[in-house]
Amino acid sequence: MLQWGWELVVGVTAIVAAIDIPVRLVLDYESLTRVTPLDWAFTIVFTADILVYRFKTRPRDTQSSPARLARPHRYPWYWFAIDLAAAVPFAAFAAPPLLQLFRLLKLGRVGQRIHRWHRGELENPNLVRLLLFLFWMTLSLHWIACGWLALRGIYHGYDKTTNYLRALYWCVQTLSTLGYGDITPGTDPELIYTIFTTLLGVGVFGYVIGSMASLLANIDPARVRHQEAVERVKAFMKYRQIPFGLQARVLDYYEYLWEKRLGYDELLAISTLPPSLKTEVSLFLNRDIIQKVPLFRTASEEFIRAIALEMQPVIFLPGDYIIRAGDSGEEMYFISKGEVEVVSADEKVVYATLAPGQFFGEMALILDQPRTASVRAVDYCDLYLLRKSSLERILLRYPAIAATITDIAKQRQEENIRRSQKKD
């Protein structure tokens, strides 16, 4: 948070410099021949940023691997040269005021940091891209208007604000190719500048329209992708004449999937990652269930890593039967959210209600027998599925955990036998 706050300060300072210096060059040239308080502010912030960036360390992921230490942040020489040029108070050395434009180079450093945020730290990159597009377009209008003022000069019949507004008015008209002719070029440099500005406007206009349409259409890509998936499912169910009640349950599932996971398939999202990253991401995604299940709290880190890679998230709606008595057992389940009921084969007796942190389905896997009871979801349930083949492979490597799960399975089997005897 502290680093983000500092980068915000540097970014705002660079933007103020990019707006202020060109305006002063054309409207208040004399102010650039002396060091103003604003110039000192630019110098102090940009110099401090050099020191901060030079001695900054890049933290490593200590959550997944505490042994990893921070390392120095790489500071390329060309970025150092840009930062240094932006920090120099040229007016203090009686240098030509045009050298103050070097401060505008700081925007490149700011753009680099925004790109880093855009790449991995922002929830809605398309919205950020739209805002950045509007920002750069507005700043470009400002610079072009200042360039027009530099060529045309100041009309002393107007104050500075009016001179700038008239230049901005000319800039917008010329770029949009809607010029009314009330402000026209009068010299060859002005004609050349107008020609290039018009050509720029013609080229940019189509790009602006296309980019804006694309950005607005994809302002929330996750929602767009989810809606497309829902529409495909709706079309399929309509084509196959699925009963309306079943259609409603399918749509309820997609609605819950959007609310909880924004429509993402977690397994598909991490499937292309290399093994090391896949393990770390799986540990993070499965951290809730790992913390909730008492069985995992005393397990070794190696066991946690192994089982995190094998568990698959699944969702069940209220009333769904997760397990039915008599079926063969090929998977067990861990409860992350929601509650389930363990019921008799005839569904008349509720044996138990299981809450988050508990697991079920292990009896059929460990004891190699059919399901002895049915399990149904009481409400929306987020479960983690572990297949029999994966469980057997993991338990072979961790006999202590295997013994614990076997004991629990046998205890539950004995409880089922006692319940059956009482019923008889």
- Binned at pLDDT 50, 70 and 90, residue 68 comes out as very low
Quick: pLDDT tens for 147-191.
Answer: 999 998 888 888 889 999 999 999 988 888 776 678 888 889 999
Q: What tens digit of pLDDT does each residue of 394-407 get? A: 888 888 888 888 88
pLDDT confidence band for 122 (50 / 70 / 90):
low
pTM over 0.75: no
Q: Which residues lie closer than 8 Å to 258 by C-beta, 6 or more apart? A: 223, 226
> Is CATH 2.60.120.10 what the domain over 275-423 is classified as, yes or no?
yes
* CA gap 83, 75 in Å, rounded: 11
Q: Which has the higher per-residue pLDDT, 208 or 330?
A: 330
Max mean pLDDT among 54-63, 122-131, 169-178 falls in: 169-178
Cα separation of 164 and 177, whole Å? Answer: 20
Distance CA(179)–CA(202), nearest Å, equals 13
pLDDT at 424: 56
pLDDT value of residue 221 = 67
**Looking at residue 264, what is its pLDDT?**
64
pLDDT-derived band of residue 64, with 50, 70 and 90 as boundaries? very low
Q: How many helices (H) and strands (E) does the chain have?
A: 17, 10
| Cα of 223 vs its chain's centroid, Å | 14
**Which range, 24-28, 43-47, 209-213, is most confident?**
43-47
Measured CA to CA in angstroms, residue 329 lies from 347, 366, 387, 395, 420 at distances of 19, 9, 9, 17, 20
Q: Which of 74-78, 155-159, 386-390 has the highest mean pLDDT?
A: 386-390
Q: What is the pLDDT of residue 395?
A: 85
pLDDT value of residue 411: 86
Beta-bridged to residue 58, according to DSSP, are: 71
Confidence category of residue 44, pLDDT binned at 50, 70, 90: very high
Domain borders along the chain are 1-121, 221-261, 275-423
148 against 1, higher pLDDT: 148
Query: Contact at 8 Å (CB) between 345 and 373?
Result: yes
Within its chain, how far is the Cα of 371 from the centroid?
42
pLDDT tens figures, 205-242: 777 777 677 766 666 666 777 777 888 888 888 878 88
How high does pLDDT run on average in the chain?
Answer: 81
